[in-house]
Amino acid sequence: MKTILVTGAAGFIGYHMSVRLSKEGHNVIGVDSLNDYYDVQLKLDRLKQLEAFNNFKFYNVDISEKDKFHEVFSNHAIDVVINLAAQAGVRYSIINPYQYISSNIVGFMNVLEACRNFKIKHLVFASSSSVYGANTKIPFSTNDHTDHPVSLYAATKKSNEAMAHSYSALYNIPITGLRFFTVYGPWGRPDMAYFLFTRKIINNEPIELFNYGNMKRDFTYVDDIVNTIDKLIDIPPTASPDKKGTDLDIADSFAPYKIYNIGNHQPVELREFVSVLEDLIGRKAVIQNMPMQQGDMLETYADIDDLTRMVGFAPHTNIREGLQQFVDWYKLYYGIK
């Protein structure tokens, strides 16, 4: 059993990851700032679930506060770091850009420095499908360029990848980055479309379909994410010091560094997505068609071949099954009959 630090442990994916690792018997150190980007009570309720595990310990610490964050490493002999803390949301990055620099750039720098100074054996960190930006080649491959981000959020995630590679190369730290594709499921984030749509359909409030609903997303169920991270923990990348620049594809490195896409590999049209929700909730949506929003991407679609080769990754949850799990949780959590 390992001692594993999970940043963003009170967040959506961080919560599910912490539950999985705690059930497996690892010593799990959870870190979260409990900021008010969305309902703090939901984060506290996630933590209540985690309190049932005597091998889970929580620190209310912001990763952007270097001294407080590094003190956690001083208190524990940590083997692996899973960095899931970040200021999320494409649209919010237009409203409050400085929060993204603080959490996603300064905070991630503190994660990297901790991994260097405390000799962490493997860092797994969350990137995003947003890094593909203006790329229109479908499906998105890790061998595609990511030079045209269309939101500050995407730019910070691309920066994280470059920062992580530099630390891996300089200090021989095994680092794995995962480009998540629209993760959803129970205990999810209230700012995400599936959560907002569910609440509004139940309350008979209008939902906004941007670009008039002509968008596709590669929705990925949270259990498929967690299962994969769990497998990757014990497969840190290895260095290939003999590789030179001319031998490297975009996704290759001479350093012990690897980037993977992690998606469902089956994009769903937004209108179909709403239709499934209507069917599961038993109520029709009131739809307001809206033009495209700044920072949005028309379609996301993950090429997952390299992850399949590495850990046998194959998504097991289709959109109807996943949304059923979410709607059931939503009704139970909010006391809806």
Q: What is the mean pLDDT of residues 258-273?
A: 93
Question: Is there a domain that residue 62 lies in?
Answer: yes
Question: Is there a domain that residue 293 lies in?
Answer: no
Decide: pTM greater than 0.85: yes
Give the pLDDT of residue 292.
Answer: 78
Question: Is there a domain that residue 272 lies in?
Answer: no
Beta bridge partners of 220: 183
Enclosing H/E stretch for 12: helix 12-23
Domain assignment of residue 124, given as a range: 3-183+222-265+301-316
Q: What is the mean pLDDT of residues 256-275?
A: 93
Lookup: tokens for 118: 């405390």
**pLDDT higher than 80, residue 212:** no
Q: What is the mean pLDDT of residues 221-231?
A: 97
Report d(CA 12, CA 185) in Å as an integer. 9
Top mean pLDDT of 112-126, 128-142, 290-304 is at 112-126
Question: Is there a domain that residue 291 lies in?
Answer: no
What residues are labeled active site? 153
Question: Is there a domain that residue 226 lies in?
Answer: yes
Q: What is the pLDDT of residues 176-203, one digit of tens each?
A: 999 999 999 999 999 999 999 999 999 9
Give the pLDDT of residue 246.
Answer: 77
Give the pLDDT of residue 6.
Answer: 98
Handedness of CA 130, 135, 139, 142 (dihedral sign): negative
Give the pLDDT of residue 236.
Answer: 97
Let me know how long the chain is: 337
Task: Identify whether the C-beta of residue 31 lies closer than 8 Å to the C-beta of residue 59.
Answer: yes
Angle at the Cα of 197 (from 37 to 294), degrees rounded to 5? 60
Give the pLDDT of residue 213.
Answer: 78
**DSSP states along 136-160:** --SSB-TTS-----SSHHHHHHHHH
pLDDT-derived band at 209, boundaries 50, 70, 90:
confident
Enclosing H/E stretch for 107: helix 107-117
Give the pLDDT of residue 90.
Answer: 83
**pLDDT higher than 90, residue 122:** yes
Weakest-pLDDT range from 75-89, 149-163, 279-293, 313-327: 279-293
Give the pLDDT of residue 53.
Answer: 98
Question: Is there a domain that residue 294 lies in?
Answer: no
Q: What is the pLDDT of residues 35-84, one digit of tens each?
A: 999 999 999 999 999 999 999 999 999 999 999 999 999 999 999 999 99
Q: What is the pLDDT of residues 294-333, one digit of tens each?
A: 777 778 889 999 999 999 998 989 999 999 999 999 999 9
Give the pLDDT of residue 112.
Answer: 98
- Report phi then psi at 234, rounded to 5: -95, 15
Q: Which of 312, 125, 126, 122 is nearest to 234 (CA)?
A: 122
**pLDDT higher than 90, residue 87:** yes
pLDDT-derived band at 136, boundaries 50, 70, 90:
confident
Alpha carbon distances (Å) from 213 to 26, 201, 202, 207, 293: 43, 16, 20, 11, 12
Could you tell me the CATH number of the domain that includes residue 152? 3.40.50.720
pLDDT-derived band at 144, boundaries 50, 70, 90:
very high
Give the pLDDT of residue 148.
Answer: 94
Question: Is there a domain that residue 307 lies in?
Answer: yes
Mean model confidence pLDDT for the chain: 94
Task: Identify whether the C-beta of residue 115 lies closer than 8 Å to the C-beta of residue 173.
Answer: yes
pLDDT-derived band at 214, boundaries 50, 70, 90:
confident
**pLDDT higher than 80, residue 14:** yes
The single-letter DSSP state of residue 262 is E
Structural domains counted in the chain: 1
Question: Is there a domain that residue 328 lies in?
Answer: no
